Chain A
Amino acid sequence: MDPLKAAVIVFPGSNCDRDVAVALKASMGKAPLMVWHRDTELPAVDLVVVPGGFSYGDYLRCGAMAAHSPIMREVKALADKGAPVLGICNGFQILTEAGLLPGVLMRNAALRFICKDVTLRVETTDSPFARRYAAGEAIRLPIAHAEGNYFADADTLDRLEGEGRVAFRYCTADSDVTAEANPNGSARNIAGIYNEKRTVLGLMPHPERLAEDALGGTDGIPMFEGLVEALS
């Protein structure tokens, strides 16, 4: 069968577009299409990635401008059809602004940009993104953001938890979800969430940054390989 086709959306100010393209190619064997934000048609693809960076400089609320780019209508339409959409960091912020995921990413509690490795507890493996992880295991991925403090009202958080839509939580190396392990003040230590069908994932940590031994770890690889497996 044909190899999988992925698209990476490029906004003005995206800066992790190449990084995620490299990781996708390593797992999929084929370079993804790079799609410019002004395009009004999305080619037929199996997966869309909204990458990290500073779309429009994050000068307005993070992701707010990019959410209104022409291509996002196509991304929404594809997501509605059930195609997987992965939003990483600024991509997560864009997906919340675009209404594909609930909640919002606020300034980090410490009011500083934070770039470091964190550990995440895999909350569910029932998704095309997490099927290669073990439920409850602690994985290590880097964060690099100033606005990763996830917030939603209590009802929304309860619903996310009740529906098994919390993807990852910040935790200790022993998978304990503690206040000390929360790097940015996120509600209930939430690092990533799914839509209702678990076909759209937004997360602040960067799986593409630890997808190679030489970069210090490979805990990001199962996410990309899981997608390949699920979509093949």
Chain B
Amino acid sequence: MTKMETAVTPEVIKSHGLTEDEYARVLDIMGRAPNITELGIFSVMWSEHCSYKSSKKWLKTLPTTAPWVICGPGENAGVIDIGDGQAAIFKMESHNHPSFIEPYQGAATGVGGILRDVFTMGARPIANLNALRFGDPSHPKTRHLVAGVVAGIGGYGNCVGVPTVGGETNFHSSYNGNILVNAMTVGLAQTDRIFYSAAAGIGNPVVYVGSKTGRDGIHGATMASAEFSEDNEEKRPTVQVGDPFTEKLLIEACLELMATDMIVAIQDMGAAGLTSSSFEMASKGGLGIEMDLDQVPVREQSMTAYEIMLSESQERMLLVLKPGREADARAIFDKWELDFAVVGTLTDTGRMVLKRHGEIVADLPIDPLAQAAPEYDRPWVPGKKRPVIDSLDVPAHDPIDALKTLLACPDLASKRWIYEQYDHMVMNDTVQRPGGDAGVVRIHGTKKALAVTTDCTPRYCLADPHEGGRQAVAEAYRNLSAVGALPLAVTDNLNFGNPEKPEIMGQIVEAIQGMGEACRTLDFPVVSGNVSLYNETNGVAILPTPAIGAVGLIADSSKIATLPFKEDGDSVILIGETKGWLGATLYLREVCGSEDGAPPPVSLHREKREGGFIRAMIEDANVTAVHDISDGGLLVAVAEMAMAGNVGATIQAPNGIALHAWCFGEDQGRYIITAPASQVPVILEAAHEHDVSARLIGTTGGDALTLKGIGTISVTEMRKLNEGWLPGFMSAPDTNA
């Protein structure tokens, strides 16, 4: 099917993922039957992955503007103003399907792709994050996938020299056949030197730089737009192979070129490679493009036009240069020992004309293809509302025993085994390493810093996609506030099952609506994003997982808050309201063995007040430690602070609420803070002024966590449980495979 002379039969059309309706549209646009190269181009451009045809209608409802937003969705990444003429550029993107098939290369090229999206726009990448979801630990493939994905992320990010400073990892059986690998990059640019992809200037040269084009990754975008079945191992050839060394050179070469005035437009070659990059540039500029594929640097001379256009070989960029600057630009790429080839010119025809061996091998109209891609209003049904579970109906286990179970459960266990495989310090600006509520990197040479986080609680999203969408955004807002950062904007990575099923489409719609509500109320616009659908195997879908990546600004990096308890004798204060919500919690799942119930509701206005209060307390240096309360509830949060600081605490539970509900309820909008006893009146008064609930619940000190009148556990034992699970799991003898 890769030969030029392949006939376009109904089978070939079907294998390219085009429906009958879509093919009729192709015929209409072309006015004739397409040849195989043209069909391939339509196929990738109209794939779900490239066209967002199922989600576009709903994505448009998300808030994307704010005074500090320089560029929202639609470019390679989102751009926000962080003051002093500087911009943060960031995006999160999935590489789910390839990572399941070939975990090392799938994850590695996921990192490479998102890095390019960011430096394409003129930014030096300064932080990487990742949000990972794996199947049940007992599933025979899980360990192999964890090992490969983590090694792949590290192998790429470490080599390019960008610190990986944060992320999250969950395990759930719904991901057994479809793991999620969502990678995020944050970069720094000057606001007056941001580069966009719209081509301009008829006659200007179109230039290809970076790695040579090979046969890898052909049809990756199409693969990512279909469900998996038993034969997915056969798709291994569609996974690309990463070359982080070339990426590092490409970053340096592109930034060197960007410091000149030679570039008109620039676009990385990501999904659908040369096809989508050239179409997007031409389409955004309203121009045509003529390319001689004989000029494209290739690894194998016999490659066809079809293969060259659809290859997803990595580490490649497409540029439009100002006329006459080819030699100057080439000198920079020569220095970095990268390929540089003039492959085409911009035209005024509005058409893409491709030549190979002197003959025209494709001639397509650009706009109808790029902009008139199908857009579906797929049928959807709202999810069934689950009943609210009364905490008194949930078994009350001994809180210390329950804490032990939770600290060692896969979702809460320390992820040190993962983040120690990532260089999280290179660039020497990481002031909050992994293990805090958010990663914090300084803006080099300034007092400022960016806080970055990724968040989503998929079990809430399954229980109620709307509430889950709100919660994912609110938790990101909370994690940024907890280190003292002003939350500025988010990027989203929407991972769902097959949108052609109304109940899955319902999850997508409701989650987006929930996210939109939260983003609007919290002044937290969405500036970039990515959608990954068809995460299903043999008809079983993943938990709905709208992962949120978020960025916040810290004016003075010396004032950030961290989560470890600092010393004996500090007061422990609970911020926020505790009703003891146990539905859809980890306590219910890990201790009671049930995944039932509605998830905890988020009060967005309260969330905003509390975030403002926490930031004010950090700014005024009233607090010694801050940690948000999330998975596992209050007692888990306190335990995490104790373990991190190697300082114990004594906590007093109040009357009037069931003890297990107080300890493990996952009521939203809560933080634990500590402060010297002398500061407590000031803090309680300030809380009152901010209309925020605050309650003194204990004192730090000693080498154990004690729940007064109930029980106690040493910090050492907690740490053993919390640190032990993941290394134990990864090094256990191979008996279950």
Query: What is the interface of chain A, defined by CB distance below 8 A to chain B?
Result: 12-13, 15-16, 18-19, 22-23, 52-54, 56-59, 112-116, 142, 144, 146, 206, 208-209, 212, 214-216
Contact = CB atoms under 8 A, between A and B. Distances in A.
10 smallest A-B Cβ distances: which pairs?
A15-B161, A57-B245, A19-B428, A54-B159, A144-B423, A115-B423, A113-B421, A113-B154, A116-B420, A209-B425
B6 interface: no
B169 interface: no
B394 interface: no
Contacts of A142: 425
B430 interface: yes
B554 to A, nearest CB: 12
A144 B157 CA distance: 12
A116 B416 CA distance: 10
Contacts of B336: 12
Contacts of A16: 161, 426
Given A12-B336, A57-B243, A214-B431, A115 B424 contact: yes
Given A22-B428, A214-B431, A214-B558, A13 B421 contact: no
Contact of A215 (B420, B422, B431): B431
A15 B248 contact: yes
A214 B245 CA distance: 30
B160 interface: yes
A215 B428 contact: yes
Given A115-B424, A144-B425, 12 more contacts: A12-B245, A12-B249, A13-B248, A23-B428, A54-B161, A54-B245, A54-B248, A114-B421, A208-B428, A212-B428, A215-B430, A216-B433
A contact face: mostly helix, strand, loop, or mixed = mixed
Contacts of B116: none
Nearest to B247: A57
19 contacts: A12-B336, A13-B159, A15-B161, A52-B426, A54-B159, A54-B244, A57-B244, A59-B245, A112-B421, A113-B158, A113-B421, A115-B419, A115-B422, A144-B423, A146-B158, A209-B425, A215-B428, A215-B430, A216-B431
A13 B426 contact: no
Contacts of B154: 113
- B419, B420, B426, B442 — which one has the most chain A CB atoms within 10 A of its CB? B426
A57 B420 CA distance: 20
Given A12-B249, A15-B248, A214 B426 contact: no
A214 B425 contact: no
Contacts of B248: 12-13, 15, 54, 57
B104 to A, nearest CB: 13
A28 B578 CA distance: 55
B350 to A, nearest CB: 41
Interface string B325-365: 00000000000110000000000000000000000000000
A58 B336 CA distance: 16
Interface string B223-246: 000000000000000000001111
A154 to B, nearest CB: 30
A54 B159 CA distance: 6
A54 B428 contact: no
B245 A56 contact: yes
Contacts of B423: 113, 115, 144
A209 B154 CA distance: 19
Contacts of A215: 425, 428, 430-431
Contacts of B641: none
B151 interface: yes
Nearest to A23: B428
- A13, A15, A19, A115 — which one has the most chain B CB atoms within 10 A of its CB? A115
A144 B245 contact: no
Interface residues of B, number: 31
Contacts of B243: 57
Contacts of A144: 158, 423, 425-426
Contacts of B159: 13, 15, 54, 57-58
A8 to B, nearest CB: 14
B372 interface: no
A16 B428 CA distance: 9
Nearest to B730: A112
Interface in B152-187: 154-155, 158-161
A43 to B, nearest CB: 19
B427 interface: yes
B213 interface: no
B557 interface: yes
- B246, B248, B422 — which one has the most chain A CB atoms within 10 A of its CB? B248
- A16, A19, A116, A214 — which one has the most chain B CB atoms within 10 A of its CB? A214
Interface in B426-460: 426-428, 430-431, 433, 442
A223 to B, nearest CB: 15
A15 B337 CA distance: 17
A144 B430 CA distance: 14
Contacts of A15: 159-161, 248, 426
A208 B424 CA distance: 14
B420 A214 contact: no
Contacts of A54: 158-159, 161, 244-245, 248
Contacts of B245: 12-13, 54, 56-59
Nearest to B243: A57
A206 B430 CA distance: 14
A52 B433 CA distance: 20
B150 to A, nearest CB: 9
Contacts of A58: 159, 245
A185 to B, nearest CB: 15
Contacts of A208: 428
Nearest to A210: B425
Contacts of A23: 428
B362 to A, nearest CB: 35
Nearest to A16: B426
A207 B53 CA distance: 51
A208 B427 CA distance: 10
Nearest to B434: A115
A19 B337 contact: no
B53 to A, nearest CB: 38
Given A13-B159, A54-B244, A112-B151, A214 B442 contact: yes
Contacts of A53: 161
Nearest to A10: B252
B420 A19 contact: no
Contact of A214 (B246, B433, B557): B557
- A18, A23, A52, A112 — which one has the most chain B CB atoms within 10 A of its CB? A112
A19 B158 contact: no
A12 B251 CA distance: 11
A13 B248 CA distance: 6
B610 to A, nearest CB: 28
B493 to A, nearest CB: 25
Contacts of B161: 15-16, 53-54
A114 B154 CA distance: 10
Contacts of A209: 425, 428
A212 B442 CA distance: 13
